[in-house]
Every structure is written in structure tokens, then in C-alpha cells.
């Protein structure tokens, strides 16, 4: 590095000349130091400042990290921890902690990141206590961000948990390799440490019907708890409000949240570091359509991060905070007959709770429904159950409660009327004229609008101050004839570079990923990404090109891309062909699935070039990267690799499967997939 080189050459010069200090210099230096010390010591001591008693301003309370003390203080005996990335596990945890009241118990939902998890073994100090874990799995079998420390703690500690009663409900997706890995790990690890499992591990599959899995598990779970602790359900099925409404009439508008995620006014005065609680408002500098034709809209956006101190690496994800369509928000306001600009707060009735409000308050109904609440996903059954009381038609009331039950006809009704028909809350209100709930209760029940993650389509070596996004706009017709639009992609599509003379901005932060180019640039890379799955590979190719320019030796770079039609949606065609021409991308293979009678996909091209693929993997230590659809593509690609290993490696199917698994554990087969 240049700086250490500079130091050594300076030292060399000093060494060759006269000694730096003579004796006289040293004497004078000591004298001066002595005088300075004497002056400091002999200064008159300052007058003590008279203390004025402060009136009624308590010191800010230190954050309580002991959940045991909190439970004792508030008389709680059930704690529900959640590991949540998109808010669903947190939602389930809140539902379970609320349930406890019906069984004469008191529950609290808790974020493991906020508490000292080393206290789990102390839970036995509380009579009839139980810890429930709602654990989601993220990415390649990883813990969610907020459960990372807890996961590390479980791996490193061997505390005796023999007094702990526990149960786990896991949230995952069957299309992923490591289905529900985090929930299974917590369940097994607690048992190994001597804890007592009160009820079987629940497995929720988001590829099927997660809500149904949860409702069925919960329906059997509570009777098991009652039996274990010898308690009886109160039969009190009434809706229990968690928050109370306060309307503000003469509030200073500077104190009102207008869409900020964390600190009030954080969008006006931006202060690093930027993260999920404090996103950076990045100006949009480019927003162009990528595809030349066809009925879809594929887009490329560039966000400017100059001056933000944000760093990213190729393969990372950018998280953006979208807002809901104002048309939907206005329709909700109309149908519920509400003044959307009324300033309100929803305050937690449990004053000891860490969660004072369901979203930043005070704010307006309009801001809450635009920035903070998810109004486009089909509502979960608990929302229908609690809103049922507001339906004036007894038939509607009965149907809503039925959909929330675990009876076969109830489940079928929820599946067909809500999920298959993609009815969001507005569609439900439109199709059920007798249902008119108070808007504040609706705001309490709707889940939070979540950030959306996109694989970054640029390299920070080439674009240190810019982050590129590649996405397809989601829009589809539902069975009821309505048009549903994806929240984030439609919002991004409308982010024009200048809007009425103002710069459009996107609130964003970076989520680090394990999807990384090999440490050694000489390793070959095989990239497989059809459609918008190409995103991280645009960054990878830029980075390999940059390394070449630096005079580094770069291994073979191979790309398998797939789209429907060459002259419609061959996105980034110019960039890819340019890289091919400059030998940055010596191998470019493109599958156009619909340009001929029989469909051709990336996995077909892999098999066509099996000899080359096998040589790169088996002899040259290549790294494989797969990005895109998890449900079909990623599975088909993986089985193509099994076929190649079986045929060219002379392996049995089992050996071939193990061979690919080993590549994964060694970090040589990475996936960035979504379903």
C-alpha cells in the first residue's frame, strides 16, 4: 500500500542524517514541559457551581434488556420471540401473545435483538411460563437480521435449559433448498440444551398457504398448553383492542410523521449511517425501459448515493421503501367515510410495552395508509375475524368468522374467496357492503408495509456513487376482473428523473449478501440468470472487466441468460455483446424460450455444453451462481448439474446430488432466488 511505502522511505532519510535532537534541545524541552505542568497545578480551583434542583425531568430510562424483569413487573408468563425479515413472523407472534389472554395467561411479543437471550434459563423463575419462538428462515437457510445474534448465541453457549418450556413455529418456503432451517435449528438446539418441548414444531410453507398452516397449528397448540398447565379457555372470543385512538385537534404539524421510518424529520435532515431505521433518500438519475417490445415493462433505474457514505459490493441487495397508490388510499377513505387528513395516534394500552404505536405516531390516516400499512396483500384470517363484528349482515359476519376457523369449509372459503381471487382489503369492503369497520381498528390490524429487496445490478468498483436496479413491473388481472398492481415496481416505474422540476427520490439502504465473486479473480465463474435474474451478473461482469483493466489475470467468465424473444426482452443486450467483444465475457449463451416451436431454457443450454461445464467445475474450480425464480428455474438448473455430474463424472444419482451439495457448502454454488 502506498502509505506504508511512504513511511519507510521517510524513516530511511532520518536515519542517514545528524541525530534529530541535541542535548540543549532536550534540556529546553524539559524546562518548558515543567513550567506548563506547574502552571496547571497552581491555577486557582474553579468556584463550585451551585446546584439547582431540576424539576420533574426524569433521566431517560435505560432500555430494559431483561425480559425476565419485564415479565415479572407486568405479570406476564408467556413470551413470544420472533425472527422476522418481512414482518410475518412478528405478526404471528403478536397474534399468539394476544391469544394468551383467552386462557387466563398474559403474553408479550419480543424482538430477540432487544433482549438478553442469555436469560432464557431463568424463565423457570416465573410460574407456568412458556417461551414461543416464531422463526422465519431467510435466503439460503440463514437467520433473519434480527435473530442473527440469538442464532450466534445458541451456537456458542451450552447453558442448562432444563427449566424452560418452549415451542417453535417455523416460517419458510418449500421451493428453497434449506426449508425452515432456522425454526428446525432452534427447536432441536433448545431440546439439546435440556429444555422441554410443550408442543410439536410447526412448519409454515409460504409456497403453499402459510396462513392456513399457522391457523391449523395454533388450533392444536393452545389445547396442548391448557392441558400442560391445567388451565381452561375462558371461551372469551371477543376482539381485544391493543391500541386506543387519540385524535389531535391543535397539534403543531412539525411534530407529525409524514412517512419517515424512524426519526421524525429524518427525510428533511439526513444523517448517516443509513440503515433499515434510517433510509437514505437517493435521487433517481436514470429510469429507462429495457425491453424493446412485448406486453411487460422491464426497467433499469439508477440511484445516486453521492455523499451518503453508503458502501456496497456486487451481489448485495438494495432495500427500498415504497408507498401505496394514492388511488387505493383515496378509495379506502371514501368507502369508510373518513377524513384522511385527521391527525391521530394509536397508543398501546399496555404501557409497559416496547411497542408504543403500531407505526410512527402522531400521523394522519392518509400517511398511515400510504406509507406505513400494507393495503394490497390479501388480509390474513385474524384481520377478517376481528373485523367480522362490524358487518351488519349476520351472513357476512358468519362467513368472515368461518374463514378464520380451521374447519375444512372455512379454509376452502378463505382460499377461494380471498387468496385465489387476490382480494385486498379494499376489494373485500367493496364486495361486502355490510362491512364498515372504524378506520382506526382497521389501521391497528393491517400489517406494516415492508421494504422490498432488489439484487444490485452494478459494481461499486465501476459505479461507487450509483446503485442500479433491474425489475419487471407487476400488474395482473384478478378473477374478480380487477387489475392488481405490484406496490414497489409500479411506484418505481413512476419515479421520473425530474417530476415538476423536483428530483424524484427513493428511500433506501443496503442489505449485505453472501452472493460474492470468488476471492481469487483467476477462478472461472458460471452465471445463470434468466429474466431479471441477470441483475447481479451485470455487476459481476462490470467488476470482472474492471479487474482486467487493472491488469489482473481473470478466469473464464461464462453467462447463461434466458428470455422469451430475442427482439422483445433481450435486456442488456448491448452491454453483454460489448463484454463478449472485449473478451470480458468469453462465453455468452442466450436461450430464447419462445422463438421456436419447442421451448428452450437455460438448463437446456447447460446440458448442450456439458463437457465445457464439467471441465470448468471439476478441473478448474469454477464458482456457479444462479439468480432468479426459485420455484422452477433454480430447481431445473440444479437437476441439470446433477445430470452432468452423473454422466460426465461417472456418478450415481445420489453421488451427483451430494457432489452439488458439497459445492454449496464450500461456497462454490450460490443462489440468489425468489419465489
At 63, the pLDDT band (50, 70, 90 cuts) reads low
454 is in an annotated binding site: yes
**Residue 537, all three cell numbers:** 451478473
Q: Are residues 534 and 508 in the same domain?
A: no
CATH number at residue 456: 2.40.30.10
146 is in an annotated binding site: no
Predicted pLDDT of residue 115: 96
CATH number at residue 413: 1.20.990.10
Q: Check whether 8 has a pLDDT greater than 50.
A: no
Reported as a single tens digit per residue, the pLDDT across 571-624 is 999 999 999 999 999 999 999 999 999 999 999 999 999 999 999 999 999 999
Q: Check whether 12 has a pLDDT greater than 60.
A: no
Q: Are residues 156 and 97 in the same domain?
A: yes
Predicted pLDDT of residue 501: 87
Among this protein's residues, is 66 annotated catalytic?
no
Among this protein's residues, is 627 annotated catalytic?
yes
10 is in an annotated binding site: no
Q: What average pLDDT does range 18-42 have in this prediction?
A: 59
Establish if 546 belongs to a structural domain. Answer: yes
The pLDDT > 70 percentage for the chain reads 90
Predicted pLDDT of residue 347: 98
At 34, the pLDDT band (50, 70, 90 cuts) reads low
296 is in an annotated binding site: yes
Q: Which among 213, 491, 627, 629 is annotated as catalytic? A: 627
Q: Are residues 642 and 544 in the same domain?
A: yes
Q: Are residues 381 and 439 in the same domain?
A: yes
324 is in an annotated binding site: no
Predicted pLDDT of residue 79: 98
Q: Which among 129, 266, 455, 670 is annotated as catalytic? A: 455
Q: Are residues 182 and 224 in the same domain?
A: yes
Count of domains observed in the chain: 4
Beta strands in 542-609 (DSSP E): 557-563, 587-592
- Region of 174 please: left (phi>0), alpha (psi -120 to 50) or beta: alpha
Q: Are residues 190 and 223 in the same domain?
A: yes
Establish if 35 belongs to a structural domain. Answer: no
DSSP state of 435: B
Mean confidence (pLDDT) of the chain = 91
User: For residues 157-194, b (16+ Cβ closer than 10 Å) or e, as one string?
Assistant: eebebebbbbbbbbbbbebbbbbbbbbbbbbeebeebe
Q: Are residues 107 and 209 in the same domain?
A: yes
Q: Are residues 534 and 666 in the same domain?
A: yes
Residue ending a domain, among 229, 260, 294, is: 229
Predicted pLDDT of residue 229: 92
Reported as a single tens digit per residue, the pLDDT across 495-511 is 999 878 899 999 999 99
Predicted pLDDT of residue 232: 85
109 is in an annotated binding site: no
Q: Are residues 540 and 596 in the same domain?
A: yes
Q: What average pLDDT does range 367-371 have in this prediction?
A: 98
Establish if 268 belongs to a structural domain. Answer: no
Q: Check whether 240 has a pLDDT greater than 90.
A: no
472 is in an annotated binding site: yes
Q: Please, which residues have CB within 8 angstroms of residue 535's CB and are 6 or more apart in sequence?
A: 454, 455, 456, 457, 469, 470, 529, 627
At 10, the pLDDT band (50, 70, 90 cuts) reads very low
CATH number at residue 658: 3.40.50.80
Q: Check whether 27 has a pLDDT greater than 80.
A: no
Q: Please report which helix (H) or strand (E) contains residue 170, including its range.
A: strand 165-172
At 51, the pLDDT band (50, 70, 90 cuts) reads very low
Residue ending a domain, among 493, 513, 533, is: 513
Q: Domain limits at 583? A: 525-673
At 18, the pLDDT band (50, 70, 90 cuts) reads very low
Establish if 349 belongs to a structural domain. Answer: yes
34 is in an annotated binding site: no
Establish if 660 belongs to a structural domain. Answer: yes
Q: Are residues 95 and 201 in the same domain?
A: yes
Block residue for cell numbers 541535541: 22
Q: Are residues 182 and 150 in the same domain?
A: yes
pTM: 0.88
Q: Check whether 270 has a pLDDT greater than 80.
A: yes
At 7, the pLDDT band (50, 70, 90 cuts) reads very low
174 is in an annotated binding site: yes
Omega before 362 within 30 of 0, i.e. cis = yes
Q: Which among 217, 417, 491, 674 is annotated as catalytic? A: 674
Q: Check whether 281 has a pLDDT greater than 90.
A: yes
Reported as a single tens digit per residue, the pLDDT across 410-442 is 999 999 999 999 999 999 999 999 999 999 999
CA-to-CA separations, 88 to 174, 316, 335, 434, in angstroms, rounded: 16, 23, 27, 29
Residue ending a domain, among 416, 431, 450, is: 450
498 is in an annotated binding site: no
Q: Are residues 466 and 435 in the same domain?
A: no
Identify the burial level of 551 via C-beta atoms within 10 angstroms of its C-beta, where 0-12 means exposed, 13-18 middle and 19 or more buried: exposed
Q: What average pLDDT does range 78-88 have in this prediction?
A: 96
Establish if 597 belongs to a structural domain. Answer: yes
Establish if 20 belongs to a structural domain. Answer: no
Q: Check whether 53 has a pLDDT greater than 80.
A: no
Contact 592, 599 (CB under 8 A): no
Q: What average pLDDT does range 665-671 have in this prediction?
A: 96
Which alpha helices (H) appear in 193-306, and where do they start and end? Answer: 210-229
**Residue 356, all three cell numbers:** 408504543
Which is higher by pLDDT, 675 or 193? 193
CATH number at residue 99: 3.40.50.360
Q: Check whether 13 has a pLDDT greater than 60.
A: no
Establish if 163 belongs to a structural domain. Answer: yes
Block residue for cell numbers 426497467: 299
Amino acid at each position: 500500500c502506498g502509505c506504508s511505502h511512504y513511511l519507510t522511505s521517510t524513516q530511511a532519510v532520518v536515519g542517514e542524517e545528524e541525530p534529530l535532537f541535541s542535548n540543549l534541545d532536550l534540556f529546553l524541552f524539559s524546562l518548558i514541559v515543567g513550567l506548563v505542568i506547574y502552571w496547571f497545578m497552581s491555577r486557582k480551583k474553579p468556584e463550585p457551581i451551585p446546584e439547582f434542583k431540576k424539576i420533574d425531568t426524569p433521566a431517560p430510562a435505560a432500555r430494559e434488556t431483561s425480559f425476565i424483569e419485564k415479565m415479572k413487573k407486568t405479570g406476564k408468563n408467556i413470551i413470544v420471540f420472533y425472527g422476522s425479515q418481512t414482518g410475518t413472523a412478528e405478526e404471528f407472534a403478536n397474534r399468539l401473545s394476544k391469544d394468551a389472554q383467552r386462557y387466563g395467561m398474559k403474553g408479550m411479543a419480543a424482538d430477540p435483538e432487544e433482549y438478553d437471550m442469555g436469560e432464557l434459563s431463568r424463565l423457570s423463575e416465573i410460574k407456568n411460563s412458556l417461551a414461543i419462538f416464531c422463526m422465519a428462515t431467510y435466503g439460503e437457510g440463514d437467520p433473519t437480521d434480527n435473530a442473527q445474534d440469538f442464532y450466534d448465541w445458541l451456537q456458542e453457549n451450552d447453558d442448562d435449559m432444563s427449566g424452560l418450556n418452549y415451542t417453535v413455529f417455523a416460517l419458510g418456503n418449500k421451493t428453497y433448498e434449506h426449508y425452515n432451517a432456522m425454526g428446525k435449528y432452534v427447536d432441536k438446539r433448545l431440546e439439546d440444551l435440556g429444555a422441554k418441548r410443550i408442543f410439536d414444531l410447526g412448519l409454515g410453507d409460504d409456497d403453499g398457504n402459510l396462513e392456513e398452516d399457522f391457523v391449523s397449528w395454533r388450533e392444536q397448540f393452545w389445547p396442548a398448553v391448557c392441558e400442560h398447565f391445567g388451565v381452561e379457555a375462558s371461551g372469551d372470543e371477543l376482539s381485544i383492542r391493543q391500541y386506543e385512538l387519540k385524535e389531535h385537534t391543535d397539534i403543531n404539524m412539525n411534530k407529525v410523521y409524514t412517512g419517515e421510518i424512524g426519526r421524525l424529520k429524518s427525510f428533511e435532515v439526513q444523517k448517516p449511517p443509513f440503515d433499515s431505521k434510517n433510509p437514505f433518500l437517493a435521487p433517481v438519475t436514470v429510469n429507462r425501459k429495457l425491453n424493446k417490445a412485448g406486453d411487460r415493462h422491464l426497467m433499469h433505474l439508477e440511484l445516486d448515493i453521492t455523499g451518503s457514505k453508503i458502501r456496497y459490493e456486487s451481489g448485495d441487495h438494495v432495500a427500498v421503501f415504497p408507498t401505496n397508490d394514492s388511488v387505493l388510499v383515496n378509495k379506502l377513505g371514501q368507502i369508510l367515510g373518513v377524513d384522511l387528513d385527521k391527525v391521530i395516534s394509536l397508543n398501546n394500552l399496555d404501557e409497559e410495552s416496547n411497542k408504543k404505536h403500531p407505526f410512527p405516531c402522531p400521523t394522519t390516516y392518509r400517511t398511515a395508509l400510504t406509507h406505513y400499512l400494507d393495503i394490497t396483500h390479501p388480509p390474513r384470517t385474524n384481520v377478517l375475524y376481528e373485523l367480522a363484528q362490524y358487518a351488519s349482515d349476520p351472513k357476512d359476519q358468519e362467513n368472515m368468522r368461518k374463514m378464520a376457523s380451521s374447519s375444512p369449509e372455512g379454509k376452502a372459503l378463505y382460499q377461494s374467496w380471498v387468496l385465489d381471487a387476490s382480494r385486498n382489503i379494499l376489494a373485500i369492503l367493496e364486495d361486502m357492503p355490510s362491512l364498515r369497520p372504524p378506520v382506526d381498528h382497521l389501521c391497528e390490524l393491517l400489517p406494516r408495509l415492508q421494504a422490498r429487496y432488489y439484487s444490485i445490478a452494478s459494481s461499486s468498483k465501476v459505479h461507487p456513487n450509483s446503485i442500479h436496479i433491474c425489475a419487471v413491473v407487476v400488474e395482473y388481472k384478478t378473477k374478480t376482473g380487477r387489475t392488481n398492481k405490484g406496490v414497489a415496481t409500479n411506484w418505481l416505474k413512476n419515479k421520473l428523473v425530474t417530476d415538476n422540476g423536483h428530483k424524484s427520490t427513493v428511500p433506501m439502504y443496503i442489505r449485505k449478501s453472501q452472493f460474492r465473486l470468488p476471492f481469487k479473480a483467476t477462478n472461472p465463474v458460471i452465471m445463470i440468470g434468466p429474466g431479471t435474474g441477470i441483475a447481479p451478473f451485470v455487476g459481476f461482469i462490470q467488476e470482472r472487466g474492471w479487474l482486467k483493466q487493472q491488469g489482473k489475470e481473470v478466469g473464464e467468465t461464462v453467462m447463461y441468460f434466458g428470455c422469451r424473444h430475442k427482439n422483445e426482452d433481450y435486456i442488456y443486450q448491448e452491454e453483454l455483446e460489448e463484454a463478449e467483444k472485449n473478451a470480458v465475457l468469453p462465453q455468452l449463451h442466450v436461450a430464447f424460450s419462445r422463438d421456436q416451436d419447442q421451448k428452450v431454457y437455460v438448463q437446456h443450454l447447460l446440458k448442450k455444453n456439458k463437457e465445457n461445464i464439467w471441465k470448468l467445475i471439476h478441473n478448474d474450480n469454477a464458482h456457479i451462481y444462479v439468480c432468479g425464480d426459485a420455484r422452477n428455474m433454480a430447481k431445473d438448473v440444479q437437476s441439470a448439474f446433477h445430470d452432468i455430474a452423473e454422466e460426465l463424472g461417472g456418478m450415481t444419482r445420489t453421488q451427483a446430488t451430494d457432489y452439488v451439495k458439497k459445492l454449496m457448502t464450500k461456497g462454490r454454488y450460490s443462489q440468489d432466488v425468489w419465489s
